[in-house]
C-alpha cells in the first residue's frame, strides 16, 4: 500500500538549484568535478614513505593524509555534509601540485577498472570505522612478523587501519566546521541544525549509526571519500529500502522523525551525490526485490526513493525497481507514474532473472538476492564484489566489416552463408580470447601497483582474508565485457543473406543455408552484381549514389525488433555464442569472463569510428543503444520489440543489457495508458527480459533542447543504461536519442 508521500521541501528546491548551478558553472569553465587535494596530499605522503617496501601501506597512509588535510565546507541549507571541494589551489599550492603530479606520473602504471559497486553498508552501519579497526587489530594480533606468509597481511592490516583513521578525521573536521558555523549563526533554527550536524559527524562513520540521519550521513561519507580520495569510482548506495528501513521505523516509532523529515533527508542525500560525481557517469540505487527468505522487501522507503526522483529531478541517482511476481502492483504503478512525469527514471530490473544469473555464477542464494546495477546496467553482488565491468567493449560490426574485406579478397572462405557465419564466429572468438589476456594482465598490474585500503574493509571478505580488494580479498572477482552493436550486426547479417546468398527462409525459420551452390561473388536473385566486393565499395562510399539500395536495406529486409524469427535467429546465435565462448575462460583472481550487451556511451563512440554497415547505417552514426532494435526500426510496436529482445537467453549476461523504449508524453498521460505500460513491462519480465528503460519525451522537446539548451538544462534522459542531462550529451548522441522510435501509444 502506497504510503503518504511528501513533495520537495523549500530547502530541497534550493539545494537542487545550487547543485545544478554549480555543475553548469563547471561545464561552462571546462573544469572537471575533481579536487586537486587528492593529488596534492596523496603525493606528499607517498614522497615521505618511499622507504616502506609495501605499496599497500603507503597507499593507506596517502589516503589518510588526503582526508586529514582535505578542505571541508558546509553550505547554507545543508543537513547532510561531505561535499567535494572544488576550489582552485593557491599559488603556493599550485607550485606544489605541479611537483606532486610529476611525481605521480612517474609511478609504475596500472590498468583496469575499479568501483562500480556497492559496499557492505550494513557492516558499516553496525560496526562503524572504529569497530572495523577493532576487527583489523584482532586479526593482526594473530600474525607473526617473522612468518613469511604473514608479512603482506600485516602490511594490509596496517594500511586499512590507517586509512580508516583518516576517514574518522575527515568526519571530525566536519563536526568542527559545523560548530564553528553554529557559533557565528544568528538564526536559532539553523544554529540547531548545525549543532545536530556536528553531533552526527562525531558519531558517524566512526561509530555505529543510531538514527536514520546518521545512517544517511555515514553512507555518504564512506561512498564519497572512496570515490574521490581513493579514486575507486562510482560507489553506489545499494538498496536503501533494505539498510535504511530499520532506522526509519525506529525513529518514527520514537517520534524523533516524521515522514516529511525523512523524505527531505533522503532528497538531500541524493542531491549530495550530484555534488561528487561528474556529469556523464552514473550512480544507481535499487529498491524492492526479494530478500534472503524469498519474500518481497518493498516498504515505505521503496516508495520514498521513487518520490525522490520527482523531488530531486537531477541526473543522479538512477533508480531501479527490482521487479518480481510479488512486487506490489502499486509500486510498479507508481514507477510508471513517475516515468510519465519525469521521463527517464525508474528503470525496471528482472529480480528473478538476475538472481538466477548470479547463482549460476557461484553467488550464494543469500547474496544473489541483493545485487547492484554497477552504475548503469552491469550486475554485481552487493558488498562482496571486485567485479570489473565493460572490460572491454567489443565492436561487433567492425569485426564483420573486417571479415567482409578478407572474404572479398579471398583471404577467408565465404562461398556459403554458413561459411561466412562460421568465419565470423571464429573472428569473434579470437577477439574474446585476446581480450581475456589483456584483462588478466591489467589485473596483475593493479595487484602490484594500485590497492584500495579504504574500500577493502567495507567488502566481504577482505578483512577476514587479510587481502586487499585488488589482491583477491573480495568473494566475487569475475570480469564483465560488453558487445556493442548487436542489432546492427543482426540486421547486417539479414541484409547480407538476402542480398548475396538468397532470400531469408520462410517463417518459422528453417536451418541456416548450407551452401546450395550460392557464392559470395556470384549474385543470386535478387543479388548484387559483384558480390561482397561490390558491397564493400558501396559501404566505402557511404552509400553515395546508392540511396535507393540503402532504403531497401532499411525498409524491405526484415529487421531485428519486429518479432521476425528469420532475423531474430541471428541474435540468438550471437548471444548463445558469446555466452559459450566467454564461459571457456577464467580470469586472474577467478570468477570467469561474463558477457553483456551494455553500451553506456560506447555505441556512439564506436559508431563514430566505424564506417557504413550493411544494415543501412551510415558511417559515423551511433550503433543501436543496447540489446534492443536499432534506432527507428521498430515497425510493429513495442510488444514486437519486447518479443525480439527476449528471444534469446538473458541469464548469462551479467555484463548487463537493456531494452530502451521511448514514448511521447501524450502516450502516457492517462491512467489507462500507464496501466498498459505496466503490463508491457511485466510481459517483458515474464518473457525473461533482464532490464527495460524508458524515455518519455517528445521529439519536439528534444529538438527544442538542442536549439535552446539554456531552457532545458535539467532535461534528464536515458542514454544506454544511465541517465544524463540531454544538453550535456554530444550532438551525435542527442541525434541518436531523437532518432529512436517514439511510440505514441502503448
pLDDT digits (tens, 9 = 90+) for 296-345: 999 999 999 999 999 999 999 999 999 999 999 999 999 999 999 999 99
Cβ atoms 130, 206 nearer than 8 A: yes
Handedness of CA 365, 367, 373, 378 (dihedral sign): negative
- Where the chain has pLDDT below 50, the residues are 508-526
Cβ atoms 45, 298 nearer than 8 A: no
d(CA 581, CA 576): 9
Residue 19's nearest CA partner among 713, 601, 718, 733 is 713
pLDDT of residue 31: 86
Where in the chain are the domains? 32-236, 393-657
Helix (H, G, I), strand (E, B) or coil at 191: helix
pLDDT of residue 375: 86
Find cell 612517474 and name the residue.
106
pLDDT of residue 56: 98
Which residues 6+ apart lie within 8 Å of 196 measured at CB?
Answer: 213
Dig out the grid coordinates for 746 from the structure. Answer: 502503448
* Secondary structure string (H, E, C) spanning 358-408: HHHCCCCHHHHCCEEECCCCCEEECCCECCECCCCEEEHHHHHHHHHHHHH
pLDDT of residue 510: 36
pLDDT of residue 522: 32
> Is 22 exposed, middle or buried (CB count within 10 Å of its CB: 0-12, 13-18, 19+)?
middle
Helix (H, G, I), strand (E, B) or coil at 189: helix
DSSP string computed for 217-267: HHHHHHHHHHHHTS----B----HHHHTHHHHHHHHHHTS--HHHHHHHHH
Cβ atoms 228, 38 nearer than 8 A: yes
pLDDT of residue 521: 39
User: What pTM does this model have?
Assistant: 0.94
Amino acid at each position: 500500500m502506497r504510503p503518504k508521500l511528501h513533495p520537495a521541501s523549500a530547502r530541497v528546491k534550493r539545494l537542487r538549484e545550487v547543485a545544478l548551478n554549480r555543475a553548469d558553472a563547471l561545464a561552462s569553465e571546462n573544469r572537471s568535478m575533481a579536487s586537486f587535494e587528492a593529488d596534492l596530499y596523496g603525493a606528499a605522503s607517498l614522497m615521505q614513505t618511499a622507504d616502506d617496501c609495501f605499496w599497500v601501506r603507503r597507499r593507506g597512509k596517502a589516503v589518510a593524509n588526503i582526508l586529514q588535510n582535505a578542505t571541508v565546507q558546509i553550505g547554507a541549507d545543508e543537513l547532510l555534509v561531505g561535499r567535494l571541494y572544488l576550489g582552485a589551489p593557491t599559488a603556493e599550492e599550485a607550485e606544489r601540485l605541479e611537483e606532486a603530479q610529476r611525481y605521480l606520473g612517474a609511478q609504475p602504471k596500472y590498468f583496469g577498472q575499479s568501483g562500480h559497486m556497492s559496499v557492505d553498508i550494513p557492516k558499516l552501519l553496525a560496526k562503524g570505522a572504529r569497530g572495523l579497526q577493532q576487527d583489523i587489530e584482532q586479526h593482526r594480533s594473530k600474525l607473526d612478523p617473522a612468518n613469511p606468509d604473514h608479512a603482506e597481511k600485516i602490511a594490509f592490516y596496517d594500511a586499512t587501519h590507517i586509512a580508516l583513521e583518516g576517514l574518522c578525521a575527515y568526519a571530525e573536521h566536519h563536526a568542527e566546521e559545523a560548530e564553528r558555523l553554529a557559533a557565528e549563526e544568528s538564526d536559532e533554527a539553523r544554529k540547531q541544525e548545525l549543532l545536530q550536524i556536528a553531533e552526527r559527524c562525531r558519531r558517524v562513520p566512526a561509530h555505529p549509526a543510531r538514527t536514520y540521519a546518521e545512517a544517511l550521513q555515514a553512507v555518504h561519507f564512506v561512498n564519497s571519500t572512496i570515490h574521490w580520495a581513493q579514486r575507486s569510482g562510482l560507489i553506489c548506495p545499494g538498496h536503501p529500502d533494505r539498510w535504511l528501513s530499520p532506522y526509519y521505523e525506529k525513529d518514527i516509532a520514537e517520534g524523533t522523525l516524521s515522514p516529511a523529515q525523512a523524505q527531505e533527508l533522503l532528497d538531500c542525500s541524493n542531491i549530495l551525490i550530484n555534488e561528487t560525481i561528474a556529469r556523464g557517469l552514473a550512480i544507481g540505487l535499487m529498491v524492492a526485490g526479494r530478500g534472503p527468505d524469498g519474500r518481497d522487501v518493498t516498504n515505505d522507503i521503496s516508495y520514498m526513493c521513487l518520490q525522490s526522483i520527482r523531488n530531486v529531478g537531477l541526473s543522479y541517482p538512477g533508480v531501479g525497481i527490482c521487479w518480481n511476481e510479488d512486487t506490489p502492483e502499486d509500486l510498479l504503478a507508481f514507477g510508471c507514474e513517475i516515468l510519465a512525469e519525469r521521463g527517464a527514471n525508474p528503470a525496471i530490473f528482472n529480480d528473478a532473472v538476475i538472481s538466477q544469473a548470479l547463482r549460476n555464477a557461484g553467488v550464494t542464494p543469500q547474496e544473489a538476492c541483493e545485487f547492484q546495477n554497477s552504475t548503469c546496467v552491469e550486475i554485481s553482488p552487493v558488498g562482496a564484489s571486485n567485479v570489473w565491468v565493460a572490460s572491454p567493449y567489443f565492436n561487433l560490426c567492425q569485426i564483420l566489416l573486417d571479415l567482409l574485406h578478407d572474404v572479398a579478397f579471398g583471404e577467408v572462405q565465404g562461398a556459403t552463408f554458413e561459411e561466412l557465419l562460421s568465419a565470423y564466429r571464429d573472428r569473434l572468438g579470437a577477439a574474446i580470447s585476446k581480450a581475456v589476456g589483456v584483462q588478466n594482465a591489467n589485473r596483475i598490474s593493479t595487484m602490484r601497483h594500485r590497492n584500495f585500503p579504504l574500500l577493502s574493509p567495507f567488502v566481504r571478505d577482505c578483512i577476514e582474508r587479510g587481502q586487499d580488494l585488488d589482491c583477491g580479498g573480495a568473494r566475487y572477482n569475475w570480469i564483465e565485457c560488453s558487445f556493442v552493436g548487436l542489432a546492427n550486426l543482426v540486421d547486417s547479417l539479414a541484409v547480407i543473406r538476402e542480398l548475396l546468398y538468397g532470400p531469408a527462409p520462410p517463417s518459422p525459420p528453417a536451418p541456416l543455408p548450407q551452401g546450395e551452390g550460392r557464392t559470395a561473388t556470384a549474385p543470386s536473385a535478387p543479388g548484387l552484381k559483384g558480390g561482397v566486393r561490390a558491397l564493400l565499395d558501396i559501404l566505402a562510399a557511404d552509400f553515395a549514389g546508392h540511396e535507393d539500395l540503402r532504403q531497401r536495406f532499411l525498409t524491405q529486409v526484415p529487421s531485428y525488433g519486429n518479432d521476425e524469427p528469420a532475423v531474430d535467429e541471428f541474435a540468438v546465435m550471437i548471444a548463445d555464442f558469446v555466452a559459450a565462448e566467454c564461459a571457456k575462460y577464467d580470469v586472474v583472481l577467478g570468477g570467469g569472463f561474463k558477457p553483456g550487451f551494455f553500451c553506456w556511451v560506447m555505441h556512439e563512440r564506436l559508431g563514430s569510428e566505424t564506417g557504413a554497415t550493411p544494415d543501412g547505417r551510415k558511417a559515423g552514426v551511433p550503433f543501436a543503444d543496447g540489446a534492443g532494435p536499432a534506432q527507428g526500426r521498430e515497425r510493429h510496436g513495442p510488444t514486437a520489440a519486447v518479443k525480439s529482445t527476449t528471444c534469446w537467453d538473458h541469464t548469462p549476461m551479467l555484463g548487463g543489457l537493456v531494452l530502451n523504449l521511448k514514448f511521447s508524453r501524450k502516450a502516457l498521460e492517462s491512467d489507462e495508458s500507464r496501466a498498459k505500460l505496466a503490463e508491457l513491462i511485466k510481459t517483458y519480465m515474464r518473457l525473461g527480459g533482464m532490464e527495460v528503460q524508458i524515455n518519455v519525451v517528445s521529439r519536439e522537446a528534444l529538438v527544442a533542447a538542442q536549439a535552446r539548451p539554456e531552457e532545458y538544462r535539467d532535461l534528464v534522459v536515458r542514454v544506454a543504461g544511465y541517465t544524463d542531462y540531454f544538453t550535456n550529451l554530444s550532438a551525435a548522441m542527442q541525434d541518436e536519442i531523437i532518432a529512436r522510435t517514439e511510440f505514441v501509444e502503448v
